[in-house]
Amino acid sequence: MLIQALQQNQEIRSASIVTDGGGFFNWFGGGAVTKKGTSVNRSTALTLSAFYNGITIICNDYAKLPKQVVKKVDGNTDSFTSHPCDYLINERPNNYMNAFGFDSILLKCAILKGNGYAEIIRNKFNGQVESLQYIDESETPVIVKKFEGQLFYHFDNKIIESKNILHYRSLFSDNGITGIGIVTFAAKSLGVALSSQEFAEEYYASKGIGTGVVTTTKEMKNDAKTRYGNALSASLSNSNPFKVAVVDEAGSFQHIKLTPQESMFLETNKHAIGEVARWLNLPVFKLKITENQNNSNMENQSISHVSDSILPWAMINQQEYNAKLYTVTERMQGIRTDFDISSLMQADKKTEAEYYNKMIFSGTMTRADVRKKLGLNKIVGLDQPLTPVNMQTQEQINKKLNSKTND
């Protein structure tokens, strides 16, 4: 009945949230084109080195976040590596992809298309997740529909409940359910950068010759000027790497160089990097622009990159994992997924050593905790917190005073 209602009921169809991750917007960027008529879409946008690099940085930083299944009970958080989902999110979500590639491709789809999807395959007897199957929308477009207060995903001639779909959604959405790809809004800005790139390609292809003027001391008729100009143009514009142009009868050739406006247009590529950084919410130095940068402010911007660029993706997808990868009983038992964002904020060895030293001697972390964070094996006797002798609670002080009085 549900399938028939979703497939045949016109009112249900009209209630469709979005189709193909773009909705009423043009999927490939709102129809923007360059001066040469090149459409601004995902593929052409990725020919911009800054845009390609920015997308790669975000996806790689997110994909390399350590993820683990944990169990929270009475305020304590313990690793739950024996849970089936721990292997899926850390090693192989399915038979043909590793976890890094899976996370990277889903996030790339979310940024560029607006949405990335994976079907959650469960064991039909106990309901536990067996695999996460990436859905390639180039082969099977996904349509999201709402019916009686529930979401359903329609693809490949089947309808799946939302609880069985892992949905990576763009951070920008007009309905809170499906996302809109970044190229949709950045098309005009990226189109200027693409036009600049095309202009630079044309200019350098002509070896910088461009336009020239021939002057001569002898008067020439119009038809002679035309023949003369065509012959000289043919000589200078041929594809041979070595060119020689002969100017007869005391004539001279003067190259007209780039106008100030044309020179500024070539500089647009540099400006485009800043535009891309703003669209992707990245520090400019991440896109290999290090002018006016030093180690101090780059370190601060690295922290900003983690908190502004990566943490939002980690939070929204962690919530998606927690809501859909575990049964109701497991969630009630405190089982959840934990994304370790601190792994992206590692400092140099000296700063890191000072940090752990302070954490140990303040009693915040044990030496065993630090060894675990560093990936070192356990050593017996290091799991007790250390407390400086000059830092005690009032209860400890009273206990010692009472002990001395009794003595």
pLDDT bin (cut points 50, 70, 90) of residue 216 is: low
* pLDDT for res 316: 93
* pLDDT for res 250: 46
- Half-sphere exposure at residue 283, Cβ-oriented, CA atoms within 13 angstroms: 19
* pLDDT for res 200: 61
* Cα–Cα distances in angstroms (integers) from residue 149 to residues 161, 162, 177, 227, in the given order: 12, 11, 13, 76
- State the residue for tokens 């996806």: 59
Mean pLDDT, rounded, for 167-185: 89
**Direct distance between the N- and C-terminal alpha carbons of the chain, in angstroms, rounded to an integer:** 83
Distance (Å, whole) CA 101 – CA 60: 9
Instruction: For residue 168, count CB atoms less than 10 angstroms from its CB and return exposed for 0-12, middle for 13-18, buried for 19 or more.
Output: buried
Assess contact for 244 and 235: CB atoms under 8 A: yes
Q: Which two tokens stand for residue 344?
A: 């992206």
Distance (Å, whole) CA 399 – CA 387: 16
Mean pLDDT, rounded, for 220-246: 64
* pLDDT for res 403: 75
Which has more pLDDT, 72 or 15? 72
Least confident of 5-19, 166-180, 387-401: 5-19
Mean pLDDT, rounded, for 294-317: 81
pLDDT bin (cut points 50, 70, 90) of residue 13 is: very low
Question: For residue 63, what is the enclosing H or E element?
Answer: helix 49-63
* Nearest Cα residue to 169 out of 253, 226, 109: 109
116 has pLDDT over 80? yes
Least confident of 113-117, 124-128, 313-317: 124-128
pLDDT bin (cut points 50, 70, 90) of residue 244 is: low
Which has more pLDDT, 382 or 235? 382
Q: What is the pLDDT of residues 119-172, one digit of tens each?
A: 999 988 888 899 999 999 988 899 998 888 889 999 988 999 999 999 999 988
Q: What is the pLDDT of residues 41-80, one digit of tens each?
A: 677 778 778 888 999 999 999 999 999 999 988 878 888 8
User: 376 has which bridge partners?
Assistant: none
User: 347 has which bridge partners?
Assistant: none
Assess contact for 83 and 72: CB atoms under 8 A: no
User: 148 has which bridge partners?
Assistant: none
pLDDT bin (cut points 50, 70, 90) of residue 290 is: low
Distance (Å, whole) CA 342 – CA 360: 17
The whole-model pTM stands at: 0.71
Q: What is the pLDDT of residues 337-349, one digit of tens each?
A: 999 887 777 666 7
Residue 240 carries which side chain, given as an amino acid letter?
N
98 has pLDDT over 80? yes
Mean pLDDT, rounded, for 359-388: 83
Mean pLDDT, rounded, for 95-108: 95
Assess contact for 129 and 119: CB atoms under 8 A: no
Least confident of 205-209, 322-326, 352-356, 394-398: 205-209
Which has more pLDDT, 203 or 175? 175
Share of the chain above pLDDT 70, in %: 65
